[in-house]
Amino acid sequence: MTGPALRFQQVVKRYGAASVLHGVDLELRAGECFGLVGVNGAGKTSLIKCLLDFCALDGGSIEIFGQPHHRPAARQPLAFVPERFTPPYYLTGADFMRYLLSLQGLPYQPPAVEAMLAALDLAPDALRRTVRSYSKGMTQKLGLAACLLTRKPLYVLDEPMSGLDPKARALLKDQLRSLRQAGSTVFLTSHALADVDELCDRMAILHDGRIRFTGTPAACRAQYGAPTLEQAFLTCIA
Ligand SMILES: Nc1ncnc2c1ncn2[C@@H]1O[C@H](COP(=O)(O)OP(=O)(O)OP(=O)(O)O)[C@@H](O)[C@H]1O
């Protein structure tokens, strides 16, 4: 695929009288790992909801691999894990995986499923247990495993590290690096700036509904004369 993976142009989003996104411009190159950061309430999840057509835009446009985002076919090349992932509590892990894969027209292949669970450090007995008995981190791993098994060109991950223990975070980062090496695009949000620094080719800082910075983590540190990305971020939003 040529051209950008995602293009946000002058995106405006309001909830009633409250304006959340004030003309967001952002472009993600195909094959990059891109991190969107911002304080709580900055509008990161709202931007993702707009991208997925979960809510209507109040202005601007979004393209996914060159297609208008509101066309269902435009969203076919992407997989998404939300910030608060809540699978149906009465399903077993295996039921959930089978269901998610069937929605994508993919077969349930036990060796591939078990290998993906192992890659995220989720014990295989999770497949037999119902989701209601999972911890928060186990639930997150199940959602990530199902998402990563879809083998899509674009992954949209809203705070994917949330709830994961240090081992699982390290394993997920390995998975994301492998996806990128395989040519997929990754668009993630994160509050862990060290992860963004380590993992992302480029990043953007969203603040007060506007993009304040777009570029590499190194360029961000250089632009704000800060030794760490955390300090650069604080200067950027000051
Ligand atoms: N459905 C909604 N109705 C009204 N206001 C909303 C709605 N969803 C989000 N908001 C508001 O929009 C703003 C942006 O919220 P959003 O969830 O996009 O932020 P975020 O950057 O993802 O935050 P966090 O880092 O805490 O997840 C907040 O002020 C929030 O209260």
Domains (range + CATH), the chain: 1-77+154-238 (3.40.50.300), 84-151 (no CATH)
Instruction: Count Cβ neighbours within 10 Å for each residue of 49-79 and write b for 16 or more, e otherwise.
Output: bbbbbeeebeebebbbbeeebeeeebbebbb
**With contact defined as beta carbons under 8 Å apart, do 228 and 221 qualify?**
yes
Model confidence at 1, pLDDT cuts 50, 70, 90, reads low
Q: Is the dihedral of CA 165, 170, 174, 177 positive or negative?
A: positive
Which tens digits make up the pLDDT trace of 93-117? Answer: 999 999 999 999 999 999 999 999 9
Prediction pTM value: 0.95
Atom 17 (ligand 1) nearest CA: 45
List ligand 1's pocket residues with C-beta within 6 A. 15, 18, 20, 38, 40-46, 83
By most ligand atoms within 8 Å of CB, the mutation choice from 46, 49, 187, 210 for ligand 1 is 46
pLDDT number for residue 215: 97
Please classify residue 187 by burial: count the beta carbons closer than 10 Å to its beta carbon, then call 0-12 exposed, 13-18 middle and 19+ buried.
buried
| Mode of pairing for the β-strands spanning 78-81 and 154-158 | parallel
By most ligand atoms within 8 Å of CB, the mutation choice from 11, 13, 20 for ligand 1 is 20
Atom of ligand 1 nearest to the CA of 83: 27
pLDDT number for residue 74: 94
Which tens digits make up the pLDDT trace of 204-229? Answer: 999 999 999 999 999 999 999 999 99
> For tokens 């669970």, what's the residue?
117
CA angle 79-64-141, nearest 5°?
15
pLDDT number for residue 84: 86
Rounded to two decimals, the ipTM of the complex is: 0.97
Question: Residue 237 pLDDT more than 70?
Answer: yes
Say how many Å lie between the CA of residue 36 and the centre of ligand 1: 15
Atom 4 (ligand 1) nearest CA: 15
Question: Residue 200 pLDDT more than 90?
Answer: yes
Which tens digits make up the pLDDT trace of 81-97? Answer: 998 889 999 999 999 99
**SS3 (DSSP) at 31:** coil
Q: Under 8 Å CB-to-CB from 70, ≥6 apart: which residues? A: 53
171 alpha carbon, distance to own chain's centre: 16
> For tokens 């995106």, what's the residue?
11
pLDDT number for residue 2: 67
Say how many Å lie between the CA of residue 47 and the centre of ligand 1: 10
Which tens digits make up the pLDDT trace of 121-164? Answer: 999 999 999 999 999 999 999 999 999 999 999 999 999 999 99
Side by side, the strands of the sheet bearing 78-81 are 78-81, 154-158, 185-189, 33-37, 202-207, 210-215
Which tens digits make up the pLDDT trace of 155-199? Answer: 999 999 999 999 999 999 999 999 999 999 999 999 999 999 999
N-to-C CA span, the chain: 39
Model confidence at 3, pLDDT cuts 50, 70, 90, reads confident
